[in-house]
């Protein structure tokens, strides 16, 4: 006989409570190991009681793991490195790996001016390395503050790995301790700030003025943020923190990041297509330097270093605010006003003028991306958990009963919160991607951050709610 609903929305009583219990078990399953011979094949299961609440037990104390039969715990202090030593080594290695490619690229680019020598390339490489961390370089034409985001991402990736490696070296892996993760990140940040200050002192001089204090602050923030991501992953503290965040906010954070990534992916596709269409013009720009293969390779790699900036600018273009390429300029769907620009292959993909009627189709791309993020939110919430024979089963197979469905308040609340998250992410990236190329007309380059953040917040919040509601309302019923 069919179950008689006793709620106004048609769902059986207690389904929302079961979903919340399923959420708790899902997070607990990532911290614990449960072995049960009767589990269905192809599934990971966590035991739950008849009411749907988890019955997983955590070990007492600060440890969040379960010891398997026959497993030996390592001695408390055997093979562990001191935190300052491990952090210093990992930070120096991360800095070296990020610096060497910059010195090589700038060394090739210097052949444009007929200059050479390892000393000059090393000095210019340090200046470029500082610029990649957002440290402005004072020159005869004014401050250079346009950071190549590709270099920033390279440095961030190495710092992320440094946080992960130091966590393992000191024996804090999978400890579930946010305090240990923050301690690792803080130590790496201090080491990285010292390296940034030393690099600024070396570069500072006639023709390249750099503030050591400002460099230390930039490097400290970069080291703290990127290494904290790695240390949180290494200690599994992200799971511990996730359990303390309300479900709507937790899923809203995830959905907002997904929406921002989808919009950036659309921007990358647009930027790549634009440069490909203007490939002939880009080739003419490269050949105009007439410096041989080494110089042309250097200017090409230098343009690729700013390719990530172009992706963010293209995303701002799709959202509507567009970006600036100098004072009194504007590059957006409805207007293109630019003056003389540097001969850089990356700029070969600039639009010649307003898009007209086809611009409406481009403005719809971020809307579709946010709707897709909302639909993925509902799909994840519906398929994340369901109970089979008293067990919480991860994943779905044909013949399983219908999963415990989330409530409308959770779906729409998470979708609405994704708007500010996506706006914050895209606004921050817009701020990082902009800068100056001297005191002249090119002193303002890149999107206006608060314009991008405001438009992205509105577009993603509304579109994600529509996508999430559609996915929740028109979901195909599970087959019994």
Residue 383 reports pLDDT greater than 80: no
What does the pLDDT average to over 393-420? 71
Taking the C-alpha atoms of residue 193 and residue 153, their distance in angstroms, rounded to an integer, is 17
Residue 391 and residue 259 share a domain? yes
Which pLDDT does position 43 carry in this prediction? 45
Which pLDDT does position 291 carry in this prediction? 59
Would you give the distance in Å from CA 15 to the centre of its chain? 34
Residue 37 reports pLDDT greater than 60: no
Taking the C-alpha atoms of residue 472 and residue 480, their distance in angstroms, rounded to an integer, is 19
Whole-Å CA distances, 453 to 31, 321, 433: 35, 10, 14
Residue 149 and residue 102 share a domain? yes
Span 347-377, pLDDT tens digits? 777 887 787 777 778 889 999 999 999 999 9
Residue 366 and residue 228 share a domain? no
Residue 300 DSSP code: H
* pTM of the complete model: 0.79
Residue 236 DSSP code: T
The reply to whether 161 falls in a domain is yes
Q: Where a domain ends, among 190, 225, 244? A: 244
Taking the C-alpha atoms of residue 418 and residue 250, their distance in angstroms, rounded to an integer, is 10
Structure-model confidence comparison of residues 255 and 113, the more confident one: 255
Residue 327 and residue 314 share a domain? yes
Which pLDDT does position 120 carry in this prediction? 74
Scanning the structure block, which residue is given the tokens 């994943």? 395
What does the pLDDT average to over 19-48? 50
Residue 22 reports pLDDT greater than 80: no
Phi, psi of 324 (to 5 degrees): -110, 145
The domain in which residue 287 lies consists of 247-473
The reply to whether 49 falls in a domain is no
Would you give the distance in Å from CA 35 to the centre of its chain? 35
Scanning the structure block, which residue is given the tokens 């570069």? 203
Residue 188 and residue 311 share a domain? no
Residue 206 and residue 295 share a domain? no
Which pLDDT does position 241 carry in this prediction? 85
Residue 301 and residue 233 share a domain? no
Quickly state the pLDDT bin for 112 (edges 50, 70, 90).
low
Q: Where a domain ends, among 214, 244, 274? A: 244
Residue 198 and residue 107 share a domain? yes
Q: Where a domain ends, among 187, 220, 244? A: 244
Residue 238 and residue 124 share a domain? yes
The reply to whether 61 falls in a domain is no
Taking the C-alpha atoms of residue 57 and residue 46, their distance in angstroms, rounded to an integer, is 11
Taking the C-alpha atoms of residue 165 and residue 230, their distance in angstroms, rounded to an integer, is 8
Residue-averaged pLDDT of the chain: 79
Residues paired with residue 139 on neighbouring β-strands, in sequence order: 142
Residue 270 and residue 209 share a domain? no
Out of 20-24, 239-243, 421-425, which region has the weakest mean confidence (pLDDT)? Answer: 20-24
Whole-Å CA distances, 351 to 96, 159, 402: 38, 37, 50
Which pLDDT does position 8 carry in this prediction? 46
Quickly state the pLDDT bin for 114 (edges 50, 70, 90).
low
Which pLDDT does position 243 carry in this prediction? 83
Q: Which of 69-78, 83-92, 380-389: highest mean pLDDT? A: 83-92
Q: Where are the beta strands (DSSP E) in 140-289?
A: 142-144
Which pLDDT does position 29 carry in this prediction? 56
Which pLDDT does position 68 carry in this prediction? 41
The reply to whether 261 falls in a domain is yes
Which pLDDT does position 323 carry in this prediction? 92
The reply to whether 326 falls in a domain is yes
Residue 304 and residue 172 share a domain? no
Q: Which of 138-152, 231-245, 258-272, 344-358: highest mean pLDDT? A: 258-272
Closest listed residue to residue 389, CA positions, set 46, 136, 139:
46
Which pLDDT does position 185 carry in this prediction? 95
Residue 399 reports pLDDT greater than 60: no
For residue 184, give both structure tokens: 């690792």
The reply to whether 71 falls in a domain is no
Contact 274, 351 (CB under 8 A): yes
Out of 73-87, 168-182, 283-297, 415-429, which region has the weakest mean confidence (pLDDT)? Answer: 283-297
Residue 181 reports pLDDT greater than 50: yes
Span 427-464, pLDDT tens digits? 999 999 998 888 877 888 999 999 999 999 999 999 99
Taking the C-alpha atoms of residue 378 and residue 254, their distance in angstroms, rounded to an integer, is 12
Residue 251 and residue 240 share a domain? no
Q: How many domains does the chain have?
A: 2
């Amino acid at each position: 006989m069919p179950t008689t609903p006793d709620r106004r929305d048609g769902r059986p009583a207690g389904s929302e409570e079961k979903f919340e219990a399923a959420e708790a078990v899902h997070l607990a399953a990532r911290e614990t190991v449960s072995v049960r011979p009767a589990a269905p094949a192809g599934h990971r299961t966590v035991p739950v009681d008849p009411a749907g609440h988890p019955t997983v037990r955590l070990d007492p104390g600060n440890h969040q793991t379960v010891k398997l039969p026959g497993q030996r715990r390592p001695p408390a202090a055997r093979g562990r490195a001191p935190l300052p030593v491990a952090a210093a080594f990992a930070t120096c290695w991360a800095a070296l790996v990020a610096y060497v490619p910059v010195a090589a690229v700038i060394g090739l680019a210097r052949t444009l001016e007929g200059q050479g020598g390892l000393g000059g390339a090393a000095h210019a490489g340090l200046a470029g390395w500082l610029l990649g961390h957002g440290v402005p370089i004072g020159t005869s034409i004014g401050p250079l503050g346009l950071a190549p985001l590709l270099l920033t991402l390279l440095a961030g990736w190495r710092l992320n790995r440094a946080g992960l490696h130091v966590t393992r070296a000191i024996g804090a892996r999978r400890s579930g301790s946010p305090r240990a993760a923050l301690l690792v990140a803080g130590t790496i940040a201090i080491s990285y700030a010292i390296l940034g200050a030393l690099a600024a002192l070396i570069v500072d001089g006639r023709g390249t003025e750099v503030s050591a204090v400002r460099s230390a602050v930039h490097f400290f923030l970069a080291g703290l943020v990127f290494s904290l991501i790695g240390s949180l992953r290494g200690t599994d503290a992200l799971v511990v923190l996730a359990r303390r965040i309300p479900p709507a906010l937790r899923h809203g954070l995830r959905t907002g990041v997904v929406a921002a990534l989808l919009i950036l992916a659309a921007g990358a596709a647009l930027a790549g297509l634009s440069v490909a269409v203007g490939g002939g013009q880009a080739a003419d720009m490269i050949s105009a330097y007439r410096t041989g293969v080494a110089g042309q390779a250097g200017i090409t790699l230098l343009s690729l270093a700013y390719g990530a900036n172009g992706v963010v600018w293209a995303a701002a273009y799709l959202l509507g605010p567009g970006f600036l390429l100098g004072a009194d300029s504007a590059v957006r769907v409805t207007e293109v006003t630019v003056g003389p620009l540097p001969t850089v292959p990356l700029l070969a993909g600039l639009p010649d003028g307003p898009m007209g009627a086809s611009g409406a189709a481009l403005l719809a791309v971020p809307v579709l991306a946010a709707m897709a993020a909302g639909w993925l939110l509902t799909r994840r919430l519906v398929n994340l958990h369901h109970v089979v024979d008293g067990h919480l089963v991860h994943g779905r197979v044909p013949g399983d009963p219908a999963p415990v469905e989330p409530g409308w308040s959770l779906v729409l609340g998470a979708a609405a919160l994704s708007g500010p998250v996506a706006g914050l992410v895209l606004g921050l990236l817009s701020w990082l991607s902009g800068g100056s190329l001297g005191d002249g007309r090119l002193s303002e380059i890149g999107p206006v951050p608060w314009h991008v953040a405001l438009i992205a917040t509105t577009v993603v919040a509304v579109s994600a709610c529509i996508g999430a509601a559609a996915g929740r309302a028109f979901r195909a019923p599970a087959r019994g």
